Homo-oligomer: A and B are copies of this chain.
Amino acid sequence: MTDVFSFDELEQAKRNHGLPLEALRYPITPPGLHYLLTHYDVPAIDPLAWRLSVSGLVERPLSITLEELRAMPAVEQIVTMECAGNGRARMHDRPVSQPWLEDGVGTARWRGALLWPILAEAGVRADAVEIVFGAGDRGIELGIEQSYQRSLSVGEALAGDALVVYEMNGEPLFPQHGFPVRLVVPGWYGMASVKWLTSVEAVDRPFRGHHQVVAYVVQKEPGDEGVPITRMLPRALMIPPGIPGFPARTRTVDPGDCVLEGRAWSGLAPVRSVEVSTDGGATWSPAELDRDLDSPFAWCRWHFSWRPEGPGEVELCCRARDEAGNEQPLRPAENLGGYVNNGVQRVRVTVRA
């Protein structure tokens, strides 16, 4: 790992905060602790002037006010969302971008309207292949002025899970989480859940925007077309046990009974198991799962009883496996953008005498 960070990385790190891992204790992440990635600036959108335009290859273009959106049948869903770049700071050859440790994750209760009835009302034409979601932000990447835009295939957009959201944890969206309205695509990495949503457009060919085909693709080599990033790979995280140091965040644990705990998720299938290693990944033991949230899209709690003996240094690890057989690798699979790193978390602790 490159152990020094540039000023540009620091500027991103200071704006785009993560989940402090002790907050894994909460099933629903408290306000202000959910991870946050803002590519450009947080825009100021007047909720009274805001409209959701539904256009392109549709029978009946729509312009929906916030009041109209809130009058549609409402759905609440608890969703764990992770940044596709989570873990990037642990990668050897990361690009200059948001330097996440393992902290680019959070869970919220979102409330909004389902996307598919809105598309059904507009009537997506048979020649449409993708739905492009546009945002009310503005910035410059690779010299091109643009807004954040992402697409889903028509099939994915109509699949039933995606929400057009106006509340987070019972309150209107905070500005930084997409006020007044955002998309939430459960099970997917966060890049699909377009904040400050303003437009939904049906198009007749695959969308080639910056955040679709340049960013958020897994490339092994420069020039490689890359694999688009979609659903979250399995990951388990633990609350680092004991007490921290400052400024270096060392961990110190007393000998004797210690319950390790954390959370695990996968966007591909339910979590099947979590295992813990107290010897740096050489041997593994099963943790107990506590499915404390009633949502197919939320993380679950796990815990593991440990009895460290000191003095000594220990490297703790945890890893998740899902019902589809996906499992975390011991080391991240490197790629040019520093994406989808679900290598196991490693927490070094000093056990006192």
Contact = CB atoms under 8 A, between A and B. Distances in A.
A140 B4 contact: no
Interface stretch (A11-19, A190-198, A200-208, A326-334): A11-19
B244 A139 contact: yes
Nearest to A97: B247
A100 B14 CA distance: 8
Given A6-B3, A20-B176, A23-B175, A244 B41 contact: yes
A10 B13 contact: yes
- Total copies of this chain within the assembly: 2
Interface stretch (A29-37, A56-64, A271-279): A29-37
Contacts of A103: 14-15
A11 B33 CA distance: 15
A53 interface: no
A96 B15 contact: no
Interface string A174-194: 111100000000000000000
Contacts of A4: 4-7
Given A10-B13, A25-B44, A41-B243, 11 more contacts: A10-B89, A10-B101, A20-B38, A20-B41, A22-B44, A31-B174, A32-B32, A39-B246, A40-B246, A140-B244, A141-B245
